[in-house]
Amino acid sequence: MNLETWNSELSHFLIGNNIVLCLYLILGVLGNGLVIFIYVVRMSKKSDDRYFIPSLAAIDACACVIGSSYALALNLLPVRFPGDFLCRALWFLSQSSTISGGTLLLVIAVHRYLKVCRPFVAKWSLTVKRMVVLGTLLTALVLSVPTIFLYGEIKVVSDRYTVGNVSLVGYRCGNKGSAGALFGYNLFLFIFAVTGIVVITICYSFIGKSIYSKVMTYRKSIKRSNVIPPRPDLSVSTITDIRRSKICEPSSTDNEVENGGLPEKPIEQEKGNMFLKIPDQSHQAKRRSHDKLVKANIPAMINHFHHYKYSYMFMTITLVFVIAYLPRIVIMLLESIFVQTFWHKPDSVVVGLLFLYRLYILNHVVNPFIYGFFDASFRHEVKYLICRHKKKPINPDSHTGH
């Protein structure tokens, strides 16, 4: 038995995990590369709402490359990892890309809150945005420095395989620091992550409350006034116009008479010696009025989602990040508590834990699909690049959202 055979035996049961990592790598690089190209090169209109998307896509692409490559190296070379420096560097870069992505989502949440809930506050200038992105990267780098001292190349001695009377010796990349230091660092990361999630949740709760308030005010206004507002984007001016029109509108009974509607009570007409009742048409009139309001609401709600599409988009991205990242930070915390025994489990359990541990990479992979779902202009550009029309189609995104 030699080291190569031992390494192959340990890595064999991780083939499925390796396939998933390869998909992460390919889709993440292609998807985020397409996002960067389209938003930087193809988009002629520089939108305030889209500013952070290329930066987030660049971080996502780096996270996919570093995270997937590092995980593949750990899977394929469990006892033949090539060098202490490479181990420390990959841990540092992987941690930095993950923290920077989460921190940038926190910055985006604060930016969305100010834009939607505090629109009269001074807008962030281009210089401020650049400094914020740079500060995000520097924060991630500083918070990742401890990994350089906590992780490295570790000697592994086999209890089962020997060459002659000497046990096989391999090398893997893993925790090299003290158990207390590792636990303290992972506990700090856990608190940092939870704090960031709480702040993000508060920001998007206020955003959701603001949007919901405008929706309900809009619906009540058109229901009472029975008029279709000229601007169904639920803005403050729209709601004001609706309220003013409601005051000036005559009563519903007067409207029915003026529009040729029938009164609610049936009318009796004499014809010869018989009285004929004209059927009660108030129900049909109410139904037509209801259908009219429903038809008015459809384009209004479409306009509403277009108006707030970026808020909904970043909410979705953040939710996916939280779902994908929490298993990793929890497993890291448990790993630092049960240093010697945590990974000593059956192969199927280890495969499941590794999948959850690396699920954070999926967040960086699916973001381009989320952009495509919410941003019509992005879909438009993707279709244009695929179809290669001679003339550029008309951009469907006539105005930006919030």
**H/E/C letters for each residue in the chain?**
CCHHHHHHHHHHCCHHHHHHHHHHHHHHHHHHHHHHHHHHHHCCCCCCCCCHHHHHHHHHHHHHHHHHHHHHHHHHCCCECCCHHHHHHHHHHHHHHHHHHHHHHHHHHHHHHHHHHCCCCCCCCHHHHHHHHHHHHHHHHHHHCHHHHHEEEEEEEEEEEEECCEEEEEEEEEECCCHHHHHHHHHHHHHHHHHHHHHHHHHHHHHHHHHHHHHHHHHHHHHHHCCCCCCCCCCHHHHHHHHHHHHHCCCHHHHHHHCCCCCCCCCEEEECCEEEECCCCHHHHHHHHHHHHHHHHHHHHHHHHHHCHHHHHHHHHHHHHHHHHHHHHHHHHHHHHCCCCCCCCCHHHHHHHHHHHCCHHHHHHHHHHHHHHHCHHHHHHHHHHHHCCCCCCCCCCCCCCC
Alpha carbons within 13 angstroms on the beta-carbon side of residue 168 total 17
**Splitting the chain (402 residues) into consecutive groups of 10 residues, what average pLDDT does each group show?**
82 90 95 92 74 93 94 91 91 93 93 86 86 95 94 84 73 85 91 92 90 74 57 44 42 38 43 48 62 58 68 89 90 85 84 92 93 87 76 52 60
The residue type found at 252 is S
Q: From residue 400, how far is each of 50, 233, 307, 397 by CA, in Å?
A: 9, 12, 7, 7
Closest CA to 377 of 60, 59, 46: 46
What six digits make up the tokens of 279?
Answer: 């059927």
Does the reported pTM lie above 0.85?
no
DSSP summary character for residue 121: S
Length of the chain: 402
> Domains in the chain, start-ordered, CATH in brackets?
3-180+308-387 (1.20.1070.10)
Whether the CB-CB separation of 152 and 176 falls below 8 Å is answered with yes
Whether the CB-CB separation of 360 and 399 falls below 8 Å is answered with no
Measured CA to CA, the distance from residue 52 to residue 111 in angstroms comes to: 10
pLDDT of residue 263: 42
Measured CA to CA, the distance from residue 191 to residue 99 in angstroms comes to: 13
H helices of 259-308, where?
282-307
pLDDT of residue 389: 53
Burial of 44 (0-12, 13-18, 19+ CB in 10 A): exposed
Measured CA to CA, the distance from residue 246 to residue 240 in angstroms comes to: 10
pLDDT of residue 392: 53
* 3-state DSSP assignment of residue 14: coil
- Crossing angle of helices 84-117 and 52-76, in 10° steps, is 150
H helices of 145-235, where?
146-150, 179-225
Number of Cβ within 10 Å of residue 296's Cβ equals: 16
